[in-house]
Amino acid sequence: MLQKALRSDHSNTTIIIRLMVGTVFLSEGIQKFLFPDIRGAGRFEKIGLPSPEVLGSFVGTFEIVCGVLILLGLLTRLASVPTLIIMLVAMATTKSEILANDGFWEMMHASRTDWAMLLGSLFLVIKGGGNWSIDNQLSKSSQGFK
């Protein structure tokens, strides 16, 4: 099972997607703690999510941990699953109101970063960490022990 999670597409360019997704999630997670009123609990309360203080810290922690793992290329597939879920929830809770009030094109404009993170996370779930990842190195090492 671990072997499947570590498996990668061996592409040299996957690092570009890892850098984009990992950096954004790491930065957003840190900001939930630095600016809780506008990025963390305060934002979650504004959009009506339950237990915003707990949820803000919970999501922020996941974003930091998963962002670092993705940047390192360690357990990339597994770390990308929570980021995928975070983006689906973020889009459902914040962009549906824009769609209802302002229309499709305004929603598409407001969600451009969300789409990039959602699809980047999906890409990493499918392809793995790429050639320049710890996953790839661990996979190579474990194949030698068969």
Q: Are the beta carbons of 59 and 86 closer than 8 angstroms? A: yes
pLDDT, residue 3, reads: 75
Dist. CA 47–CA 126, nearest whole Å: 31
Dist. CA 145–CA 130, nearest whole Å: 21
pLDDT, residue 89, reads: 95
Of the candidate ranges 5-19, 104-118, 121-135, the one whose mean pLDDT is the lowest: 5-19
Judged against a pLDDT cut of 70, whether residue 126 lies above it is answered with: yes
Of the candidate ranges 84-88, 132-136, 137-141, the one whose mean pLDDT is the lowest: 137-141
Judged against a pLDDT cut of 70, whether residue 144 lies above it is answered with: no
Domain range annotation of the chain: 2-137
Q: What is the dihedral of CA 55, 56, 57, 60, to 10 degrees?
A: 120
Q: Are the beta carbons of 93 and 44 closer than 8 angstroms? A: no
pLDDT, residue 98, reads: 95
Tokens of 48: 């009506």
pLDDT tier, 142 (very low <50, low <70, confident <90, very high otherwise) = confident
Dist. CA 124–CA 22, nearest whole Å: 11
Q: Per residue in 52-92, pLDDT tens?
A: 999 999 999 999 999 999 999 999 999 999 999 999 999 99
